Structure 1
Amino acid sequence: MQAYTPLMICVRCRTPLKTFEEYDSVASLRRSATPRGDLLEVRYLHPPRPEPWDHEPEPGVANVDSEIAMICDFCSSPGPRFLWLTGGKARLLRAMDGGGQVHDFGSSPWAACNTCSAIVRAGNLHMLLDRWRKCSFSLRGANRHQRREEEALIRRMFSAFLNTRPQGPFPIPPSGMAGS
Structure 2
Amino acid sequence: MEDLGFMCARCGGEVHDVTHNREGELDAVGYRHNRRVEPWDHELELAVGAPDPGTPDCDFCGEAAPGWLYYPTLDPEDTDVFEVELDTTHLSDDDTATAVLNMLYPWYACDTCSVLVADRNMEQIIVRALERTPVPADGPVGEDVVRARLRGSLSVFFTTRPGRPQPSRAV
Q: Structure 1 residues 81, 70: CA separation in 2 closer, same or farther (over 3 Å shift)?
A: same
Cα offset, 1:40, TM superposition: 3.5
Alignment of 1:77 with 2:73, yes or no, is: no
Match of 1:122 among 90, 108, 119: 119
Q: Structure 1 residues 36, 76: CA separation in 2 closer, same or farther (over 3 Å shift)?
A: farther
Q: Which residue of 2 aligns with 1:133?
A: 130
Equivalent pair of 1:82/1:117 in contact (CA under 8 Å): yes
The number of aligned residues is: 146
Cα offset, 1:73, TM superposition: 0.5
Q: Deviations over 1:118-153 (max 9, x none)?
A: 11112111221121121125x12357x711122112
Which structure 2 residue ranges, 5 or more long, are not aligned? 75-81
Amino acid at match of 2:126: L
Q: Deviations over 1:45-73 (max 9, x none)?
A: 1553879999957578xxxxxx8511111
Matched residue SS, 1:149:
helix
- Within 5 Å, give how 1:137-176 maps onto structure 2: 137=134, 139-142=135-138, 146-173=142-169
Amino acid at match of 2:58: C
Tell me which stretches of 4 or more aligned residues in structure 1 moved more than 6 Å. Answer: 49-55, 89-93
CA RMSD of aligned residues (A): 4.2
Q: Structure 1 residues 173, 74: CA separation in 2 closer, same or farther (over 3 Å shift)?
A: same
Give the fraction of aligned pairs with identical amino acids, expressed as a percent: 18
Q: Deviations over 1:13-52 (max 9, x none)?
A: xx874655131x54xxxxxxxx752163353415538799
Q: Structure 1 residues 133, 57: CA separation in 2 closer, same or farther (over 3 Å shift)?
A: farther
Could you tell me how far apart the structure 2 residues matched to 1:111 and 1:18 are? 19
TM-score (norm 1): 0.59
